[in-house]
Structure 1
Amino acid sequence: MKSWGGKDEHGSSEGGRFSGCLDLFYLFTMADKWTLLKLAFILLLLTVQTKGCNDGFNKQNNECVDDDECADNGLCGDNAKCFNTIGSYYCQCAEGFKSSRNEKFKADSPEKCKDIDECLTASICGPNASCKNTISSYICFCNEGFVSSTRMETFHPGNNASCNDINECEEGSVCGPNSSCVNTHGSSYCKCNVGFGLRSGELNYTGKVEQCEDVCKIDETICRNGTCSVEDGGHFCACHAGFTNYGRRRSPCVELDCDVFKVVDILGEKHNIVQDHVKQLKEGCVDLSESEDPKELDGEHLLKVLQSIIDKLLSSEVLRDNRKVSTFLALVEEALRLSGPFVATPGTKMSSSHTELELVVYNGSIIPQGRKKLSTKHAQLEVDMEVAAGDPSHHPGFTTVSLLTYSNLEKSADDFFTGMKPHENQSFKINSKVVTVTVSNRDTNLLKEPVKIKMYHLEQSNGFLHTCVFWDSSEDGGTWSSRGCSTEESNSEYTTCSCDHLSSFAVLMALYEIEAQFELQLVTWVGLSLSLICLFICILTFSMIRSIQSPRTTIHLHLCISLFIANAIFLAGISKTENRVGCAVVAGLLHFFYLSAFCWMCLEGVQLFRMVVLVFNTHFKTFYMMAGGYGVPAVVVAISASVNSKGYGTNRYCWLNLSSIWSFFGPACVIILVNILFFLITAWKLAQKLTSLNPDLNNLQKIKAFIVTAVAQLCVLGTMWIFGCFQFETNSITISYLFTIFGSLQGFMLFVMHCLFSKQVRDEYANILCGLSAPRKRKYSEFSFSHSSKANASKSTQDTGESHI
C-alpha cells in the first residue's frame, strides 16, 4: 500500500510521511462525504491491526496473556518471596524477616529484608529459660540448674517444653562431712550441721572447698566463763561457778553476784516476810550460778517477790542512812537482772503500793535495733536497744530493759548531796520520784548512746533550777551526783535528763536561802510600775513639747521608748518559762530593747562629742540615728539567734543563757567604754575652749550639767547590768537587792535627770499646770553664751537651738 507521499510503506522517509500528511489533509478538505467514510474505515482497520499489549502482558496468538514476573527467582532479592498478580507482581519478606518500611514492595525498591530477633520478646521461651536468635528463627534452652521436660538440650515453645528445677542434692555427695545440702531454685548450697561451723565465719558454702568443724574448736570464746561441748542438738555451755547463761545452753556465761541478796541483816529488817522473800531470790540466784543445767524460773513470780520486799522496806522506813539506800538499790538492780530473762516476751507491766514497773524482753541471738520507750506514771525512758544488748561477743541470747519507779523513796534519799557542788547559800531538794533503770548489758559505766529519762516534778514551780542526778554508791557510802548526766529540757512540769551510764536517777531542785523573796518581788513590782509611769511621762514630754525638741531630746525620746517596752516585757514575761518558744521570744525582745537603750546612750555620747569638739554640723540625720539606735541591735540579735537559737531562755528566766550572754554584755561593755572615752575627751576639750573664750559662769554651769547628766545616765544603766550579770545564774541576797533596786527604778531616775533637773522642762511643766497656752517666743537652747561671746557663735545656733562652740 502506498502513502500519499508517493512511496511505499517500507520505503518512506520522515520527509515522505510529512508530505503524506499534507496530502491527507488535502484529501480531507477536497473529498466528498462518501470518500471520507471509506477513508475513516481504512484508518480504523489499520489501527486495530497494529495495536500492542499493556504492561505485564505478552501477545500470544494475537492475544494478550499475563506475564509471570516471578518466574525470575532472583527478582525480589535475598530473604524475600515474589508473588505474581494479574498484570503485575509484589515482593514480601520471608518468615523470620521484615522490611524496614513497607510490607509489600517492588524489586526496584530500596527495601531490604532483615532478620527478626525474636529473643527481644520478653519471656518468649518461658520461665527459667534463655533464648538464642538464629537466621529467620530462634532456639530456647534451660538456664543452669534447670532441665527441659523433653530432655532435649534445645527446644521451641511450640514443643510444649518447660524448664524444671534440678535437685542437686539428689545427685550424690555434694557437700563435705558435718554438713548438709540445701536445694534452692536453680541452685543449692551447703550448711554446717548444728554444733559445727566454718572458720571463715560464713553461714554456708558451695562445693567442697571448706570443711565444717566443731564450733568449740573454731571459737574458744563461744562459752566464755564456761565449758563448751557438742552434742546431737548442737553445742552447749556449762558455766563455771558464779556464772550463768540463764538456762540458755548455747549462750555465753555472764557473772552473777548472789551476795547482794544478803542484805536483810544490813538493813536491820527482822520481819519474817522480808526474810522469806529475800531467801527466794537468793535460792534462785544460787541455782543459776551453781547448776550446770538450771531449772527455768518464773520471772513474774520473782518480780512480785521483789515488789513485796520494796513495799515492806519503804513502808517501814528502815532506809535511814545512805549506806542502806545503796544496799537497797543494789538489791533491786540485781533482782531485776535476775528476773528479767525469765519473763515471757515481749515483757510485762506490774505495780504495787510502792512501785510501778515496766519490763521489756527480747529473745534471740540477733541483737535488736532501734530505740525503745518505756513509761510509768511519773517517768519515761528512751534507750537504744543495741546499748541495752551490749557487746555482741558477750550477748547472752536475750535483751532486757526495765524502768522501776518508787512511790516514796525520795523521802529516805533526800539528805545525801555530798556529791553535789552547791553555790553559796544554795541547797537541794529532790523534786521527782526516784527511778531505777536496768538493762541486760552489765557494762553500763560509759554507754555509746546516752539514755533519756523524763521525770515529772513533784512541785510545779517556776524560777527554780533543776539538775539531773544519779545515785553514786561508790562515794561516801552513797550520794546523789550529776556526773555523766545533763539536763536536756526542763520546765515547770518535767525535766528530761540525758545520762551516759545507768543507775537510779532523780531530779534535784536548787533552792536558795533568800528570806526576803516576797520583799524583792514587792520592790520589783512597785519599782517597775513607777518606772513605767515615769518613762511614759518622759515620752510625752519629749514628743509633744516642741519648744525643747532638738537632736538631743530625740535621743532621750527613743531611749525612753526602748526602756519602756523592755520594762513592760520584763514585768509581764521574765518568768514565763512554761512555753519554750514563747520564752525564747521574750528573751529575744528583751535582748533587742535593752541593747537598743545602750545604743541610744552611745548616740548621746557621740552627739555631745560632736557639739563640743567638732564645732560644725552638730545635727544627726534621723535616718542615721534610727539605724544606730535600732538597726545595730537588730543585726546583733539576728546574728546571735541564728548562731545559737537555744541560747534564748533558761530554766529559771526568759533571758539569755551563758552560751549567749556575751551577745548582750559584749556590745554593752563596748558602748560603756566608748562613752567614757567620749566624755573624757569632751570634758578636756571643753575646759580648753572655756578657758580661751572666757564664757560667763551661767553657760559654764549649763555645760557641766549637760555632761554630768549624760554620765549619770550611763552610770545608772551600766551599774544595773553589772549586777544583772550575776543575778541570772547565782543568787545572793545583796546582789538580788541591788539588781532589783537599780533595775526597777531606772525609768524613775531618767525622769529625774532629764525632766526634773532641766529648767526648761520644769518651766514647761509650770506653764502646763498653770494653764498658760500662749507659745513661747523662742526655743530653749541646750546651752548658750552671754552677749559678749555671741559674736563667736555660728549662725546655725539661732536656727537649731544648739550652741556651736
Structure 2
Amino acid sequence: MVLNAQEQLLKIETLGTDELASYGNTVLTRTEKLVSKLVKPTETTDSVNISMNSLDVQVFAVGPKASLKEILQLSLNNAQMDIDLIQISMNNNGSAAVAFMSFTNMPSMLQPSVFKTATNTLKTMVSNVVSATLPKTTNIQLTTPVNFTLKHTAEISPNSVLSCVYWNKTEWVVDGCSLLQTNSSHSLCSCVHLSTFALIMQTNPPKGDDRDPLLDLLNTLAVAVGLVFLSLALLTFALCRQHLRVNAAPLINLCISLFLAHLLFLLTQTFLQYIRTNQLLCAVLAGVLHFLFLSAFVWMFIEAVLLFLSVKNLKKIRSKQKEMLAWKYLLVIGYVIPLTVVGVSAGLVPDGYGSQQCWIKTDKNFVWSFLGPVSFILTFNLILFIIIILTLRTTLAGRNTEHSKIKEIKTLVFKTLIQIVILGCPWILGFFVNGSKVLEILFLFLNSQQGTFIFLVHCVFNHEVRLQYRKCLTTLCPPFKPPTTTDDQNRRKGAPRLQPL
C-alpha cells in the first residue's frame, strides 16, 4: 500500500526544485526502510523480487553456507548491478544482504537541473534512477567498486558529455563515480560507494552554432504562410463543393493532413525546450507527427494516381471521372495504412520516438519506418509525373489547334507543372542537403508552400471556383444603384419634364 502511494507522489511536478528534492529524499528513505524488512535470515541464499509500474526491487541475501564464488549480478528492467557480496559478507560474520531498486518516475523529483557544473549546459537524465543499499549489514565498507549498467532512456546526442552521478541530499554530484564505457544503448558506471545513481547527459552548444537564426526565422515564417493558404484552400473547398471535380476527397484530405502536421510541427518546435523535459509527451508528439506526415504522403500518392488517370483520359475526362476510386475506400487507404505503419513501428521499437527534437530517433535504424515509405512514394510519384508530362505533351501535340483554346492549354500545362510540388517531389531534396544552405532553403520553401500551390492551382486558377466567388461577393455586396426620382419615373412614362424656375 505504501509503495502504491509512492507512485502517486512521484507524479508531483508543480512544486519548486527544493520541495521536489525534499519529497524525493523522503521517498528514497521510506522505500529503503521498507525494502530492508524484506531481508530474512538465511544459511545459504535468499532473494525477493518486486515489480511495479514505476518501481522495481530486487533483494538478495547470503548466509554462512552460501556457495557463491563469483561477483553477484542483480538485474532489473533497465539496469544491472555487479557487487562482490561474498567479500562483504566475510566482513560481517558470513552474512550480508543487498537491495537494488530502479525508479522510473524519480527524475520528476530529483531533477537533472540541480547537477552543478562549471559551464552552463543543458542537462538531461538519460537513465532510470537506481538505488543500492546494504540493509541489515553492519560493515557497509566496499572492498571493490560496484559497477552499474544503465540503459539509455533517451537518444544520446553526438555533441554531449555523459556523467555518472549520485544523489547527495539536494544535488547530483560525481564524487567517487566514473563512466567506464558507453554505446548507443547502455552505459557502464563504476562507484566506490552505494547510494542513488543516475546517468546525466550534458549538451554543450557548439562554439559556432550550426543553426542559423535567420534560417529558423525563415522556417517559422514559411510554415506559417503555408498554414494560411492551406486554411484558405480548405475554406474554398467547403464553400465550393459543388464546383469541384468528383474526386476532390484526396485533395481535401491532403490539405487536412498537411495542415495538422505543419501546425503541430510549428508548435512543437516553438515550445521545444518545455516539451522535451517531459519524455512521454515528446514521444507522443513524435508518433503523431509520424502519422500525420505519412498520411500526407499517402494522399500525395493517391493524388498522383488520379492525376495520371485524368491526363491519360484527357479527351474524355468528364465521362471518366466517375470511374475513379470511391472516396470511402480512399479514406481507408489514406489513414489506415499510415496508422498501421506507426502502430507496428511503435510495437517493434517502443522507445523509438522522442529524440532531442521530439521526432523519430535515428538509432537502431528506426528512422526508416518513416524514410522507407516516403522513399517509395516519392520515387513512384516522380515516375508518374514524368509519364504525365510525356502523355500530356503527346496528347496536346495531336489536338487540332483550330478547335483548341491556346490559353486553356497553357493553363493546363502550367497547372500540371506545379503539380510536382503538390505531389511532394521536392521532398527528394532532403536526401541531398548535407549542409548546403541553398538546397536547405529551397527544400524549406518548396515543401512548406504545398498549401500555397494547392490554393493557386485548385482555387485561383479554377474558373468555376472564381465564378462562385464572384457570385458570393455579388450577393454580399450588390452593385450600387442610385435611387429613382419622380422625375425619372415620369420621363420613363413619357411625361413632360419639369423645368427649374
TM-score range normalised by the length of the shorter chain: 0.5 to 0.7
The alpha-carbon deviation at position 561 of structure 1 amounts to: 0.8
Q: Which residue matches 1:748?
A: 452
Query: Which amino acid in structure 2 is aligned with residue 755 of structure 1?
Result: C
Query: Which amino acid in structure 1 is aligned with residue 279 of structure 2?
Result: R
Query: Which amino acid in structure 1 is aligned with residue 283 of structure 2?
Result: A
* Contact 2:303–2:423, Cα closer than 8 Å, also in 1: no
Distance 1:563 1:450 in 2: 43
* Contact 1:756–1:762, Cα closer than 8 Å, also in 2: yes
* Contact 1:466–1:508, Cα closer than 8 Å, also in 2: yes
Q: Which residue matches 1:558?
A: 253
* Contact 2:225–2:449, Cα closer than 8 Å, also in 1: yes
Q: Secondary structure at the match of 1:641?
A: helix
Distance 1:602 1:630 in 2: 13
Matches within 5 A, 1:398-413: 410-411=117-118
* Contact 1:709–1:754, Cα closer than 8 Å, also in 2: no
Q: Which residue matches 1:644?
A: 349
* Contact 1:592–1:633, Cα closer than 8 Å, also in 2: yes
1:65-90 deviation line (CA, Å, top 9, x unaligned): xxxxxxxxxxxxxxxxxxxxxxxxxx
Distance 2:458 2:475 in 1: 23
Q: Which residue matches 1:450?
A: 149
| Sequence identity percentage | 23
The alpha-carbon deviation at position 543 of structure 1 amounts to: 2.4
Distance 1:439 1:676 in 2: 69
Q: Which residue matches 2:358?
A: 653
Distance 1:704 1:534 in 2: 22
Q: Note if 1:534 corresponds to 2:240.
A: no
Q: Which residue matches 1:499?
A: 187
Query: Which of these two proteins has the greater Rg computed from alpha carbons?
Result: 1
Matches within 5 A, 1:691-730: 691-695=397-401, 696=404, 697-715=406-424, 718-719=427-428, 722=431
Q: Which residue matches 1:121?
A: none
Change (3 A) 1:687 1:506: closer
Q: Which residue matches 2:297?
A: 598
The alpha-carbon deviation at position 537 of structure 1 amounts to: 1.0
Query: Which amino acid in structure 2 is aligned with residue 500 of structure 1?
Result: L
Distance 1:397 1:623 in 2: 75
Q: Secondary structure at the match of 1:647?
A: coil
Q: Note if 1:511 corresponds to 2:214.
A: no
Distance 2:358 2:376 in 1: 25
Change (3 A) 1:451 1:692: closer
1:272-319 deviation line (CA, Å, top 9, x unaligned): xxxxxxxxxxxxxxxxxxxxxxxxxxxxxxxxxxxxxxxxxxxxxxxx
* Contact 1:469–1:481, Cα closer than 8 Å, also in 2: yes
Distance 2:122 2:286 in 1: 28
Q: Which residue matches 1:607?
A: 306
Q: Secondary structure at the match of 1:624?
A: helix
The alpha-carbon deviation at position 674 of structure 1 amounts to: 1.0
Query: Which amino acid in structure 2 is aligned with residue 703 of structure 1?
Result: L
Q: Secondary structure at the match of 1:500?
A: strand
The alpha-carbon deviation at position 647 of structure 1 amounts to: 1.1
Q: Which residue matches 2:262?
A: 567
The alpha-carbon deviation at position 664 of structure 1 amounts to: 1.5
Change (3 A) 1:685 1:523: closer
Query: Which amino acid in structure 2 is aligned with residue 561 of structure 1?
Result: I
Q: Which residue matches 2:393?
A: 687
Query: Which amino acid in structure 1 is aligned with residue 190 of structure 2?
Result: L
Matches within 5 A, 1:366-515: 384=81, 387-389=82-84, 397=91, 410-411=117-118, 429=121, 431=123, 440=142, 442=144, 450=149, 467-469=161-163, 484-485=181-182, 498-502=186-190, 507-512=201-206, 513-514=208-209
The structure with more helix, counted as a fraction of residues: 2
1:486-539 deviation line (CA, Å, top 9, x unaligned): 577xxxxxxxxx533526986321424337665455434433333222211100
Query: Which amino acid in structure 2 is aligned with residue 550 of structure 1?
Result: R
Change (3 A) 1:688 1:571: closer
Query: Which amino acid in structure 2 is aligned with residue 567 of structure 1?
Result: H
Distance 2:384 2:441 in 1: 31
Matches within 5 A, 1:279-294: none
The alpha-carbon deviation at position 766 of structure 1 amounts to: 4.2
Query: Which amino acid in structure 1 is aligned with residue 451 of structure 2?
Result: G
Change (3 A) 1:739 1:469: farther
The alpha-carbon deviation at position 443 of structure 1 amounts to: 7.7
* Alignment gaps of 5+ in structure 2: 1-60, 99-111, 126-131, 133-139, 166-176, 193-198, 479-501
Structure with the greater relative contact order (CA < 8 A, sep ≥ 6): 1 or 2?
2
* Contact 2:150–2:188, Cα closer than 8 Å, also in 1: yes
* Contact 2:378–2:428, Cα closer than 8 Å, also in 1: no
Change (3 A) 1:439 1:485: farther
Query: Which amino acid in structure 1 is aligned with residue 354 of structure 2?
Result: G
The alpha-carbon deviation at position 746 of structure 1 amounts to: 4.0
Distance 2:152 2:343 in 1: 33
The alpha-carbon deviation at position 563 of structure 1 amounts to: 0.8
Distance 2:230 2:388 in 1: 28
Change (3 A) 1:566 1:483: farther
Matches within 5 A, 1:784-795: none
Distance 1:439 1:736 in 2: 58
The alpha-carbon deviation at position 607 of structure 1 amounts to: 0.8
* Contact 2:429–2:439, Cα closer than 8 Å, also in 1: no
The alpha-carbon deviation at position 708 of structure 1 amounts to: 0.9
The alpha-carbon deviation at position 557 of structure 1 amounts to: 1.4
Change (3 A) 1:686 1:566: same
Query: Which amino acid in structure 2 is aligned with residue 684 of structure 1?
Result: L
Change (3 A) 1:538 1:741: same
Query: Which amino acid in structure 1 is aligned with residue 423 of structure 2?
Result: L
